[in-house]
Chains A and B, each alone.
Chain A
Amino acid sequence: MSEKKRSSQWRVWHRWLSLVFGLQMVIWTISGAYMVFFDLDYIHGDHLVQDVSQPLPEGTEVSDLDKLLTRYPETEKASLEARRLDGKLQPVYKLKSDKGEFLVNAKSLERIEITQHHIEDLANRYYAQESADIESVVYMTDNPPTEISETLLPVWQVNYDDFGNTSLYLSETTGDLLVKRHTFWRGFDIVWMLHIMDYDERVDIETWWLKAFIIGTFILMITGIVLLLYTITFKRRPIGGAQ
């Protein structure tokens, strides 16, 4: 009969381990299911924005390269593109040096300062949902919300009053769309935090407690397998059992 008694011991262990590790297992499966069931492109918010690039207006004259580089000699990378500013499509050079990026008028080579008015206009053009109701526009220089990286600062945050509480983040120097956030991205961020158990920065997957919980859950699983071997029977028991 001793082998029969042993299954009780396994059951006691299974219960106690599940009290600690089983709860994390529930969190892992719920957070895992969230990540699995919501398409990653949707989470990324690809449906929220559209490509706004377009050719330069016909017959545009642009300044040549020599003039550009004489005026901005530190330029490491230059690009010519069209950008809608102040209600009309304008040719601009986007210049990148080790000091950052900025726009200049492609003809006059005057530097273009991006204003809040430009940002709202640009954000509405990126925004791909039906009605673009801007709720607020915030210029951020420090204390970024947890949903963006600190390296994006300073940045414009454009908040929409829509289903997903969309926030678009635009560069203060170029007006480029940097990142987009919405409710389901934020939900993903939370379940990701719960999944990797880094409740602070949400990036560290090497914490000792994560490893400890994985090992603990493994032991929980072993006790479960043993119980399974004891209790799963392929024989159908007649209702009422043996008389």
Chain B
Amino acid sequence: MIRFIQWLHRWVSLILVIQVALWLVSGFFFSITGHHGMSGHQYMVSENSKPPLKKLATQVDFTEMYQRFPSAHLIELVSVAGVGQYQVTLADGSVLYFNANTNENWSTGEALATQLALSSYNGPGHVEAVERVMGSDEVNGWEASGFRIDIKDDLNTRIYIDEASSQVVEHRNTPWTIADWAFRLHFMDYTGGRSFNHLLIWSAGLFALWFSLSGLILLGRNITNGDFNPNRKKTWLEYFQQKGKPIASSCGGGGTCGLCKVTLQGSDIPSPKAAEKALLSANELDAGMRLSCQHRTSTNYEVKLHNEGVSDIALTLDSKRQLTPSIMELTFVSSEPVNYEAGQFMQFRIPHLNEILSRHYSVATRPQPTRFVFNVRQLPSPSEGVPPGIGSNYLCNLEPGAHVDAIGPFGDFQLTKQNNHTQVFIGGGAGIAPLRALIQSELAAGSPRRCIFFYGARYEKELCYRDEFERDERLNYIPVLSEVAKSDAWAGHTGFVHETAMKWLADENKDTLDVYVCGPPPMLKATLESLADFGVPREQVRFDDFGI
């Protein structure tokens, strides 16, 4: 459940992040500007006191208007610029305006509009322009004909006057325009209608609710876990990170990346949490494997780091040779011996411009304490102007005698413990390196298990270490080519390597196989899916997706 909430929190935030930023920025704008600053009414007279009607000497009487419109709901007499104006509201809500001296329809000329605009204005500016308009984008809901009086002042004031009634419709200015945009962003109403009841903001509101409530639940969990207690015990991950011990984590303790694995030993080890059940297999959990971010330091049990033997290694290039057109074999030596297992990888520190890049390469031979062989796939420029792979380019251009720093060993792509299973290796491209190390290591054992190696390449000349694999009779080496020209004298298997492997697998007992897979991502994916389809138990499949 907590994992679902974490997932929800993260993905909803990804969808919502831009709108949240807009809400915050526009909200901040509202807060620094204030109601008055956004109203457009900075220079608007709040209300003019009108002269008493008695002074207008009105010619047309109420009784006359009433006789003319006996079904009117309301007849009002007001003073507009010193002249009486009758406003007659009809049953349908529409309003008619009449001059109370002439009994004619009220009309507004440019001069009157200007005069009324100025009497509603108390700023420092003067009239710059008067323009006839038919409604305005700036005045929501006003579509009648009228005038826009532009005032030359510091706020760029515009005053709108309705023609039929001579009423001052609105004052607008530059701060109002900016605020209007802030409202569009805040309400997600880009029509300018300032409505906050529409489908778009309903959806955003729902997402925001899910987002903040999931955050609240996660926060509650943090509080009950004691994450805010300054005296709380550290998690093992924090402890190891502080001690500078080698431990991987990309999520930083959220229980989502599954990299900070440790093994707990003792009779009283904590039961696995939801994150661990999701990210570790049942076998791993049974073996005491846990994620170090999920448990606090304790003296009730022992904790074993998986990468205990990791250290800095100073490597010197001894020799290099081109294995295939795209793969270079580099042999390094170190002055200090390093303990590592077949199938493990080293992390190279590649200087590039002002930074140090990390690149992972698996050792391509069985363990030799001071000698390290790597297969580096040279990535050519994908197109002109785009640089070739930085790491591979750097390494392939090293000359014998050159030094490079690495950290290692890492990785748990290793041979299974002694059993009598058939060892099946499936690889492609530069994935050859850790597989070759595993095969060499297995064959060097006292009584090697049955080994079969499917290796996929595009052309015959890309079959690296072919002689070595064909020479050893204890290994069943099955190369598979995916792009064979008719002119080639190739009598072996063709197609994708996993297809050939699956045909062979069909006749095998799935429960007595250990499968190791390493290769380019599409091949790795296709192979793992096929293995799952064939019913090979997940615990018997190991793969390496690094180093490619």
Please report A residues at the B interface, Cβ cutoff 8 Å.
Answer: 1, 4-11, 15-16, 18-19, 22-23, 25-26, 28-30, 32-33, 35-40, 51, 53-56, 58, 60, 62, 64-66, 68-70, 73-82, 93, 97-98, 203, 205-207, 210-211, 214-215, 217-218, 221, 224-225, 227-228, 230-232, 237-243
> Known pairs A5-B252, A8-B253, A40-B197. 12 more at Cβ < 8 A?
A1-B246, A4-B249, A7-B251, A8-B238, A15-B222, A33-B209, A36-B196, A55-B71, A79-B74, A80-B74, A81-B74, A214-B27
Query: Would you call B394 an interface residue if the criterion is a C-beta within 8 Å of the partner chain's C-beta atoms?
Result: no
Give me 25 A-to-B residue pairs in the complex whose CB atoms sit less than 8 angstroms apart, sorted by A's number. Answer: A7-B249, A10-B252, A18-B219, A22-B219, A29-B209, A29-B213, A36-B205, A51-B93, A53-B74, A60-B66, A64-B62, A65-B61, A70-B54, A75-B52, A80-B74, A214-B24, A218-B24, A221-B17, A221-B24, A231-B10, A232-B11, A240-B539, A241-B258, A243-B539, A243-B542
Query: Would you call B147 an interface residue if the criterion is a C-beta within 8 Å of the partner chain's C-beta atoms?
Result: no
Query: Would you call B248 an interface residue if the criterion is a C-beta within 8 Å of the partner chain's C-beta atoms?
Result: yes
A44 to chain B, nearest CB (A): 12
Query: Would you call B353 an interface residue if the criterion is a C-beta within 8 Å of the partner chain's C-beta atoms?
Result: no
B254, A231: Cβ atoms under 8 Å? yes
Known pairs A36-B201, A98-B49; A78 contacts B76 (CB<8 A)? yes
Residues in chain B near residue A205, CB distance under 8 A: 30-31, 34-35
Residues in chain B near residue A232, CB distance under 8 A: 10-11, 14
Residues in chain B near residue A73, CB distance under 8 A: 52, 54
Number of B positions contacting A (CB below 8 A): 89
Please report B residues at the A interface, Cβ cutoff 8 Å.
Answer: 10-11, 13-14, 17, 20-21, 23-24, 27-28, 30-32, 34-35, 49-54, 58, 61-63, 65-66, 70-79, 89, 91, 93, 195-197, 201-202, 205-206, 208-209, 211-213, 215-216, 219, 222, 227-228, 237-238, 241, 246-254, 256-258, 278-281, 284, 412-413, 528, 538-539, 541-545
A231, B256: Cβ atoms under 8 Å? yes
B209, A30: Cβ atoms under 8 Å? yes
Known pairs A62-B63, A64-B62; A211 contacts B32 (CB<8 A)? yes
Residues in chain B near residue A97, CB distance under 8 A: 52
Residues in chain A near residue B23, CB distance under 8 A: 28
**Which of A5, A23, A75 is packed against the most chain B CB atoms within 10 Å?**
A5
Residues in chain A near residue B201, CB distance under 8 A: 36
C-alpha gap A206/B75 in the complex (Å): 43
Contact of A1 among B27, B93, B248 (CB under 8 A): B248
Residues in chain B near residue A81, CB distance under 8 A: 73-75
For the complex of A and B, the 10 pairs showing the least CB-CB separation, nearest first, are A7-B252, A240-B281, A79-B76, A8-B252, A53-B73, A29-B212, A243-B542, A29-B208, A36-B205, A33-B205
Residues in chain A near residue B545, CB distance under 8 A: 242
Known pairs A26-B215, A77-B53, A214-B28; A65 contacts B13 (CB<8 A)? no
**Which of B241, B251, B278 is packed against the most chain A CB atoms within 10 Å?**
B251
**Closest residue on chain A to residue B50 by CB atoms:** A76
A74 to chain B, nearest CB (A): 6
Contact of B258 among A69, A77, A237 (CB under 8 A): A237
B541, A243: Cβ atoms under 8 Å? yes
Known pairs A22-B215, A80-B74, A217-B24; A227 contacts B252 (CB<8 A)? yes
B54, A240: Cβ atoms under 8 Å? no
B197, A77: Cβ atoms under 8 Å? no
C-alpha gap A4/B62 in the complex (Å): 85
**Which of B10, B74, B248 is packed against the most chain A CB atoms within 10 Å?**
B74
Residues in chain B near residue A22, CB distance under 8 A: 212, 215-216, 219
B28, A215: Cβ atoms under 8 Å? yes
Residues in chain B near residue A64, CB distance under 8 A: 61-63
C-alpha gap A78/B87 in the complex (Å): 10
Residues in chain B near residue A69, CB distance under 8 A: 52-54
A139 to chain B, nearest CB (A): 27
B497 to chain A, nearest CB (A): 19
Known pairs A11-B253, A211-B31, A221-B17; A18 contacts B74 (CB<8 A)? no
A19, B228: Cβ atoms under 8 Å? yes
C-alpha gap A3/B535 in the complex (Å): 39
C-alpha gap A97/B202 in the complex (Å): 46
B191 to chain A, nearest CB (A): 15
